[in-house]
Amino acid sequence: MHVAIRGGFVTTAVLAVAACSGGTSQSPSLASQGMSSAIVHRGMPFVPAQRYTAAVPNAGGYSTKKSLVFVADQLQAAVNIYQTKKLGSNPASIATIHVQAGCPYGMAMDAKGSLYVVDNCGGNDVEVYGKGSTTLAGTITNGISNPLGAAIDKNGTLYVSNYPASITEYASGSSNPSKTITGGGMTDPFGLALDSAGNLYIADFGASAVFELPAGGSSVTNLNLQGLQEPIGLAVDQKNNLLWETGGSGKVVNVYKLGGSTSPIETISSGLTFPYAISLQNKGKPAGTVVLSDLYDRNSGADGSVFAYKAGQYTPYATLTNNVVLPTGLLIAKP
Question: What is the per-residue pLDDT across 114-140, written as a single tens digit (0 to 9) for each?
Answer: 999 999 999 999 999 999 999 999 999
pLDDT of residue 26: 34
- Torsion angle (degrees, nearest 10) of CA 187, 41, 253, 258: 20
* Mean pLDDT score, 191-214: 98
Q: Which amino acid is at 25?
A: S
Write out pLDDT tens, residues 300-309: 667 999 999 9
Q: Let me know if 222 is exposed, middle or buried by CB neighbors in 10 A (0-12, 13-18, 19+).
A: middle
pLDDT range class, residue 12, cuts 50, 70, 90: very low
Q: Are 128 and 137 in contact (CB under 8 A)?
A: yes
* Average pLDDT over every residue of 317-328: 96
Q: What is the 3-state secondary structure (H, E, C) of 207-228?
A: CCEEEEECCCCCCCEECCCCCC
CATH tag, 2-333:
2.120.10.30
**pTM attached to this predicted model:** 0.89
SS3 48: coil
Residue 287: which of 64, 65, 66 has the closest Cα? 66
pLDDT tens figures, 262-293: 999 999 999 899 999 999 999 999 999 999 99
**pLDDT above 70 for 242:** yes
Cβ proximity of 334 and 283 under 8 Å: yes
Say whether pLDDT at 182 is over 80. yes
Mean pLDDT of 167-195: 97
Report the amino acid identity of residue 7. G
